[in-house]
Structure 1
Amino acid sequence: MGKRNYQFHRSELFRRLGWLVVPVLFWQLDTLGNLSIASIQESNNSTCQDCCDYWCTTMNCVKEAAQLWQLMNHSADPCVNFDEFACGKFYKEADIPDERGYAESWDISNEKIRKILEEILSEEIKPKDRHHQRMRKLFMKSCMDIEQRERIGLQPFLETKFAEEWPTLKGRAWKETKNFSLEEMVLLYSRFNPFFNIHVVEDHENLPHKAIDITPLETGFLDSFQYQRGRHSNLVMAYETKLREMAVELGADPVTAAQDAAAFVDWQAQFFKGKNFFLIDIMEFNLSSLYSNSNLSRLGVPQAISALFGSVNITLGDNVQIIVYDRRVFNKIKVAIEKMTEREIRNVFGFTYAATRVFVTKRMQEISDKLEEVQTGNSFKKPLIRRCVEAVSNHFSLSLSKEYVNSAISNTAKNALAEMYERTKEIFREILNNTSWMARSSKQAALDKLESIALINVLPEEGFDDDSLDMVYKNFVMSGENYYENIETSIREAEMKNLRSLKDPSEDATWARKTFQANAYFRRTGNEICKYFNEYHAYEISVSCMRAALFEDAQLCRVLCMFRVDSQIPDPWVGRMRSLYSRIRTETRRIYNAASGRRSCSGRSEELLLKAYRISLPQRKPVETIHDLPRREVDLGDEEIVQHYHPVPLEDYVPVIGGENCLFRAVSMEAFRYDS
C-alpha cells in the first residue's frame, strides 16, 4: 500500500452523542480510547491520584508509549502546534487502506477486532454448542462455501412469485392486467415495499405500549443527494449499468433490460429532483384515521399494515399509535405513482426487491463491485471471509456480540466498567441536583431518565445469556448448504420478531432512537445508549463502546468526563468540572511525557490538550416543547444542506462532545491497555 495524504473523516460516533450519561459513556468507553491515559500497578494503600504522579513504567504502558512515539512529530513545538506534535508523523506516513480513500487512527484497533471476529466465526460446530451458536456457524459455513453457492445459483429467486411478477424478466411475454391495483402489489410485497417501511418502536409517550413507525424509503441503491450530480453523472450511469447487468444475469433480454433500467433511473432522477427533499414532518394516526387519509390509503399504507400484523396473528385496534414521518414525501410518491404505467410500477418493485436478494453469486458480486468502485474511487475487492463476517454480523448480531465479549473483554474490565459507570451517574446526579437554572420539569425528567439507565445498557447481562439468545434465534433454522435460503429465513424472522414485539410491554429504560435526537422528555425520539455500528455491525449491545484493547485486564483509575470550563457555565458546574478534568490533564500528560521524553510546557499545553475535545455549549434558553427546539442546518452531503429539527440534549445546555483534533484520534485504542 502506498502513502497518500491523510484525509480526516468525522466519525459517526460524534454525530450520535447524546445527553447526560451518553456523552460520558461514549467519551469514556470509545473516545477514551483517543485519550492518552495509562495506569501503573497500584499498591493496596495507593490511590488513583497517587499513581498518576509516576512516570509510565509498566510493560504495557512502555509498549504503548513507544507506539505513540511513532505517531508524533518530535520537531514540532507542542506549545505552538500540539496537533502536529501529537500526530505529525501519522499524517505524513499513514497507510491508506485499499478499500477506501482515507485513513483513521482507529484502523489498528479495527483490524484487531476484525481478526477476533474472523477467529470466532472460523470455529467448527461443537457438540456442546447452543442453538444460537450452531445456527450462526451454519450461516457462516453457507456463506463461505462459494462452490455450493454457485451450484445453487439464482434459481431460488427465479422460482419466487416476485420474479414472475417482474416485467423486465418476463420480456415480451409480460402483459398488462385488466384491473391493476397498487394495493395488490403492496400486499404482495408486504414484507418488502420500495416506497415505505413499517417498523414497531417504543412509544415513550404512552408506556408500556408501543407504536408503529411509517417512514418513506428512497427506492433504489443511490440516495436522493447523489442524483443532484445530474442524471448522466458517472455515478448515476454506473448505477444504471448495475441494474441492467443484474437483470440480464437473471435472464432478461439485454435490450429489454437496458430500456427498463434506464426508465427506472429516469423516474428516480425526476422523483428526487430539487433540493431539501427530505424534511422532518411527523403526523400521528390510528388505524381508522390512516384509512381516512386519501394519499396514504391510495398508497396502500393502512392495507399493508393490516396485512403485515395479520400475518403474525395480531389484529390492530385504534388504540395503537401510528406515526407517519415525512408526510410530504408520501404525497410526492402518490403523485409520482399516478403518472406511472403498470409496467413502471412493477419494475420499481422488481428492481429494488431483487437487489436485496440476488447478490450471492460471483458474477452478481462483480456487478455490485463495479458500482462500488465508482463510488469509492478504488478497485479493492473485499475478501470472501470479510464479506461473510459482515453478513453474520448483520444477521446474528446478538449472538456474535456475546462471543466477542467473552473473547475480548475480561471480567476485571467489566467490574471496572461498572464502577466507573456508577461514579459517572453519581456525579451527574449531583450536577443536576445543584443546577438552579433548569426548568423544573426538565430537571425532573432528566433525573428520572438518569435513574432509569442501568448497566445493562452498557454490558447486558439480562437477555444476554445463552437461554435468552436461543429464544431470540429459535426460528432461525439455518442450513450449511443454502446461503440464499438462510438469508431469506433470517430476514423473514427478524421482520416477524419486530412485528410481534408490538404486543410486548415496553420498559422505561428502553430507548429506541439515536442519541443525537435525545432530549429531556419521554418522546419517542428517545435515547439509545450505544448502538454505534462499525462496518461489521457486531456491537448491537454496545460492544463497540468497549473495544478490547481498552479494557483488557483493566484496572481503571478514576477517569471521568472532561469538560471545557466556560465562563457561561453556571457556578455549580465550574468547580465540579475543574476537579474532574484536572485528573484527566494529569493522566494525559503522563503518557506523552513517556512517549516524548520531555516535559510539556505547563499551562499552554494543558490548554491545547483541552482543545482536542471541547464541549459545545449553545446559548441556553428554556425549551418546553419540540417547537422550541432550534432548527439547525445539517450537512448531508456535498450537494445538499437541509433544515430539520435537531434537538439539542436537555434544553440546549447539556454538553455534547465535539472537536476534531487528531491528538486523541491518532492514538490507537491499544494505547490504553491498563495493567492489572
Structure 2
Amino acid sequence: MDDIQLMRLSPKLLTFFWLLCLVIGCLSPCAGGHPHHFPHVRSVTEVPSNGCDNSSTTSNCEAYALSLNMNLSADPCVEFDEYACGRFYKEAKYSPGETSITSFSIAQSKVMDFVSDMLREDVKPTDYSYQSLPKVYFKSCLNEVAVEGVVMVEVVVVVVVVVVVVVVVVVVVVVVVVVVVVVVEVVEVVAVVVVVLVVVVVVVVKVVVVVVVVVVVLVVAVVVVLIVVSVFVLMIFAHHTPGELTLSDFQGERNSTVLTAYETYSRELAIELGAEPSVAAEDAKTFVDMQQELLKDVVEGSDLLQQIFETTLEDLYANANCTWLGVPQTITTLFGLTSVTLKTDERVVTFDKKNFKRLGDIKAILETKSER
C-alpha cells in the first residue's frame, strides 16, 4: 500500500519541484526577472548583452565593468545607479567637447528620470523591482544661512535664565532694603549720641537705594528687550523648523533661504567626499534644480502619491541600495536615523546633526572599498 501511495504522489512531487526551480530561477540576481519598463534605465536583474550572468566568466564581467568605467570592486551585474551610489565622486570622462560630470550626478539624473517616467506613464510601484520610492530628504545644514540649532528651545532657555536671575536680584534687593530700614530706625533712636554718624548713614542709605532702583530698572528693561527680540525671532522661524525640507519648500522660490541652505549642505557634502570645489558647487546647484523639476512631475502624478507614501522606510532600505534621491545605504546607516515624520503631503527623514562630522569616516570607507 505504501509503494502504491508513493507512486501516486511522485507526479505531484515532480511538478512541485519543477515549479520551485522555476521560481528560484526567476528570482535569482542576474536571471532577468522583473525588468524595468523604461529602455534608458537598465534593470538590476537584466542580463547584459555580453552575457554577464551567473554562468559568465570573470573576464567577461571585468570587461563589462571596464566598459562602464566601473571600479572592479563593484558587482558588474548590478546596475550603474547602485554602483554610483556606492562610489560618489569618480569622474566619468566624456568625449572631447563635452563637460565631465561626476557619477553622483549621473545617478541623480538616472533615478530622477526613472521616477518621472514612472509617474507620467502611470506605472504602479509594484511593477518594478525597487517597489519603494518615498520622499526622503537630508537634514539640511542651515547654520550658514539661519539660526544654529533649534531656535525655539534656545530662546526659551535664555528667557528662563534671565527671568530667574532677575527674581534673585529683586529678592536680594528687598532683603537689603529691609535690613537697611531697620538699621536706620535703630540709628535714629541713638541719634542723640551719634548725630554725625546718623547723618552719614542716612546719606549712604539714600545713595544705595537710588543705585538699587537704577539697577532694577535697567535689569527689567533688558528683560523686556530680550522678550521682544525672542518673540520677533520666533515669529520669523516658527513657520519652519530648521533641519527639514518639505514639498512646499521645493514648490517655492529657488533662491529661498531653505533651498539655499540645502544647496550649501550638498556642496559641503560633495567636497567632503572628494569633489573639487568648483565641481561640487555646480553639482549642488544642479542637484537642487533637478529635485525641484522632479517634484513638478510628482505633483502632476498626484493620483499615485498615496500608493508611494504607503511604503515604509523599512521596505525602502530592505529593497533598494539607495533612495530615489540617490542617498547610499552606507551614509544612512552611518548618520543614524533619528526621527521620521509623516505629514499630509510629505515624508521627511532627518539625520542627527552631530554625525555630520563623520563624513570623513564615510569618505575613508568609500576609498577603502575602491582599493579592493
TM-score, length basis structure 1: 0.15
- The structure where helix makes up a greater share of residues is 2
**Greater length-normalized contact order (CA 8 Å, ≥ 6 residues apart):** 1
Q: Which has the larger radius of gyration?
A: 2
TM-score, length basis structure 2: 0.25
